[in-house]
Amino acid sequence: MRQELFELLIRLGDDHLVLGHRISEWCGHAPMLEEDLALPNIALDLIGQARSLYTYAGEVEGKGRDEDQIAYVRLERDYHNLLLTERPNGDFAHTIVRQLFFSVFMQAWWREAVKSTDETLAAIAAKAVKEATYHVRHAAEWTIRLGDGTEESARRMEEAVSALWPYTGEMFETDAVTDALAEAGIAPDPASLEAEWDKVIADVFAEAMLAIPDESWQQSGGRKGRHGEEMGFLLADLQYMQRAYPGMTW
């Protein structure tokens, strides 16, 4: 299970690092002061989770790499994050919808991972699930506020949902890695979380007066290192300090 566990930790770490970086881009640019504090704090939660996952990944790999080396000096194709997490911030509506989709999934994932047969992963999950619960509440409240708000805010939310929905299916994809880890009781089968995700999203959308898209086609490829062109620009920003000043630490 060592190789499968390492791959899982890299996937999760990349999800949280990339999305954390995306949300951090709002610092100083949020639509109101309260959000200028809330969004960077959510970003810090995600990056903190990424650090825990990368640290453990380095231990599992056994090649002496620490979280900085794993996070900052890999090539684009070596990142296995969900495509959803790398999507550009767009307007505030896009950021909130992206956060809602991801946070609802991760809340369910962490809740199941608390029962993991791997004690370290279970410990990471026990802390992360508390943070994910806040992330879900924050994103859900804004989704309802904007979706059931003004004509303009509702229009923007509808556009965001339509644009990001095709990236949600990748969260529930399974492969040899997820199958092996689920069978060993180390990590939950992502496909088993889809029904819960669907219900939570449907409940939030009902309050927000938003419709569930009937889009069936889904984007895929992030787990295999195939990314959109935005990922290259994101990494150029994310990796700049470590590339310019090798050896810097968190």
Q: Could you report the average pLDDT of every consecutive run of 10 residues in the chain (250 residues)?
A: 97 98 94 92 98 98 94 95 98 98 98 98 98 98 98 98 97 98 98 98 98 91 96 95 82
Residue 212 per-residue DSSP state: P
CA 150 to chain centre: 29
Assessment of whether the complete model's pTM goes beyond 0.85: yes
> What does the alpha-carbon distance between residue 85 and residue 103 come to, in Å, rounded to a whole number?
11
Query: Are 141 and 160 a contacting pair, CB within 8 Å?
Result: no
> What does the alpha-carbon distance between residue 183 and residue 68 come to, in Å, rounded to a whole number?
31
> What does the alpha-carbon distance between residue 22 and residue 19 come to, in Å, rounded to a whole number?
5
Q: CATH classification of 2-212+227-244 is 3.40.50.1000, yes or no? A: no
Amino acid at 135: H
> What does the alpha-carbon distance between residue 155 and residue 178 come to, in Å, rounded to a whole number?
37
The domain limits of the chain are 2-212+227-244
Query: Are 143 and 102 a contacting pair, CB within 8 Å?
Result: no
Q: Which two tokens stand for residue 157?
A: 């939310």
Distant-in-sequence contacts of 198-206, Cβ < 8 A, 24+ apart: 200/104, 200/108, 200/136, 201/100, 201/101, 201/104, 204/100, 204/140, 204/143, 204/144, 205/143, 205/147, 205/161
Residue 169 per-residue DSSP state: G
Query: Are 218 and 168 a contacting pair, CB within 8 Å?
Result: yes
Closest C-alpha to 59, from 119, 102, 129, 125: 119
For 172, residues 6+ apart whose C-beta sits below 8 A from its C-beta are 190, 191, 193, 194, 197
Q: Which two tokens stand for residue 213?
A: 């898209």
Tokens 């007066």 label which residue?
209
Q: Which two tokens stand for residue 1?
A: 């299970």
pLDDT recorded at residue 250: 60
pLDDT recorded at residue 216: 80
